[in-house]
Every structure is written in structure tokens, then in C-alpha cells.
Structure 1
């Protein structure tokens, strides 16, 4: 699975700061609504419900919030670079500045897991993360994320 299938160029954003996870989820909901046509409130609610199950801050400044939604027919993504890292209660207790959010159909099963695995593997690459952090151009960020070789999910 390639990230280019999940991530539209207009779903990549650079933002200055975020005051809280709740505010971040609202921002993700606004982007999901404008780019993917998803309803804002159910998106925010689904992200918050998933986060209550356990933190999606996976460490090294990366968070992978995700949610399943009935309105979708395929997995969609949103990527945010936050210029001033925020507290996300990540597993390593480090602030987060790279957020790749996935939205999957309610019954996506394996596709959702494959997408999550590809995104996770991609953002475990410390060289790539350093390049993402060093760049504020959304077109360049999109290219860095989507022009990678095919990363096979386990």
C-alpha cells in the first residue's frame, strides 16, 4: 500500500501550535471535512473515543490518531506538522510535532490495519522525520511522504 493512495496534497498542513489534543482533533475534523467531505462532529467524536482507549502518540514526536467512520468507502489520511511540539501524552512522554491521522471505513478490517502499519513504518524512519521537521513547504512534505518506495505491511 502506498501513502499516495491515502494522502491528498491538500490534506497536508503546517500549523504553528496546538493548545490541546481536543483542539488538534477539531483541526483534523475541519481538514477531513474540507478535503474528504467527512462530517466534522462525528470525526472529532470518533478520534476522541479512540484516544480514550489508549494514546496514539507512538513516540519520537509522532502521533497516529485514527478512527473508523461509516461515511467512508476507503482509507483516507491527513498529515500535520506542528511547528511548536505539543503535549500528547505519548508513550515516551515526548511532545508531538508530526501527526498522521487515518480515517477508515467502519468495516475496513485489514485495509485499516495495513494503512496503519505503513504509516507507522514510514514515520519510524528517523531520517525522514528529520527531513519533515526541517521543511515547511506542504508540497515538499507531501512529496516526501508519498514518493517513498512501496512499504509492505506485515
Structure 2
């Protein structure tokens, strides 16, 4: 599995005004709706429900919100870069500025876990995160995320 198989270029955005986790989830829902054809409100609700089980902020300014969604045929994702970090309740108590949201079909088992592991490995590489933070162009962000060496570096 490669990130390009779950992330479309049009599902990558830079947000300048997300002020809270809830607002970020609303922005992610709107992006998932426009880029992936998902229901924005159902997306927000699924992310909030999953987040209530425990924060998906994994540390070092990165969050990996994820949810299972009815009606999806394959694992899909949106990537959001925040111009201004927000408090996310991360494990290291640091604000986040990178959010990679994953959505999986309700019955997806191993594919969802493989995608989550792939994203986690990719965003654990300090050089990848540094490149992402140095660029606020969605096309460039997509290229950084999907370049093969970024995935292999983990």
C-alpha cells in the first residue's frame, strides 16, 4: 500500500483558521465532502465519536484522526496542514499542525490498520514533517507525502 492509493491531491489543504479540535473536524468534514463525496456531518460525528475513546494526537505536532464510515468502498484520507497549531489533547501535550485523517469502510479490518501504520510510519520521520512544515502549497504537500523515499525512510 502507498499513500497515493488512499490520498487524492484534491484532499490536501492548508487551513489558516482552525481554532479548536471540533473546528478542525468540521473543516476535515467539509474537505472529505468536497474531495471524496462523503457526508460532512456524518464525517464530523464519526471523528468525534472515535476521539471520545482517546485522543488521536500522536505527538510531535501530528494527529491521526480516523473513523469507520458506512458506505465507503475503500480506505480514503484527507491531509490538513495548519498555519497555526491548535491544542489537540495529544499524548505529548503539544499542539498539532499536521492532521492526516483516515476513513475506512465499516467492515475494513486489516486494510484500515495497514493504512494507519503506513501514515504513522511516514509522519514519524522528522525530515518528512520538516519538509511538510516548510511548505504551504497543497500540491507540494501531496508530492512530499507520496514520494516513495518518504515512505521508505521509516
TM-score (normalizing by structure 1): 0.96
Q: Give the whole-Å Cα distance in 2 for the aligned partners of 1:6 and 1:132.
A: 18
The residue number in structure 1 matching 2:33 is 33
User: C-alpha displacement at 1:148, in angstroms?
Assistant: 2.1
CA contact (8 A) 1:3 1:146 kept: yes
User: C-alpha displacement at 1:44, in angstroms?
Assistant: 0.6
Task: Extract unaligned runs of 5+ from structure 2.
Answer: none
* Moved beyond 3 Å, runs of 4+: 149-152
Q: Give the whole-Å Cα distance in 1 for the aligned partners of 2:94 and 2:17.
A: 16
1:71 aligns with 2:86: no
Larger displacement relative to structure 2 (10-19 or 127-136): 10-19
Task: Extract unaligned runs of 5+ from structure 1.
Answer: none
User: C-alpha displacement at 1:118, in angstroms?
Assistant: 0.1
User: C-alpha displacement at 1:92, in angstroms?
Assistant: 0.1
TM-score (normalizing by structure 2): 0.96
> Does the residue aligned with 1:9 lie in a helix, a strand or coil?
strand
Q: How many pairs were matched up? A: 152
Higher RCO by CA contacts (8 Å cutoff, separation 6 or greater): 1
User: C-alpha displacement at 1:19, in angstroms?
Assistant: 1.2
Query: What is the RMSD of the two structures over their aligned residues, measured on CA atoms?
Result: 1.2
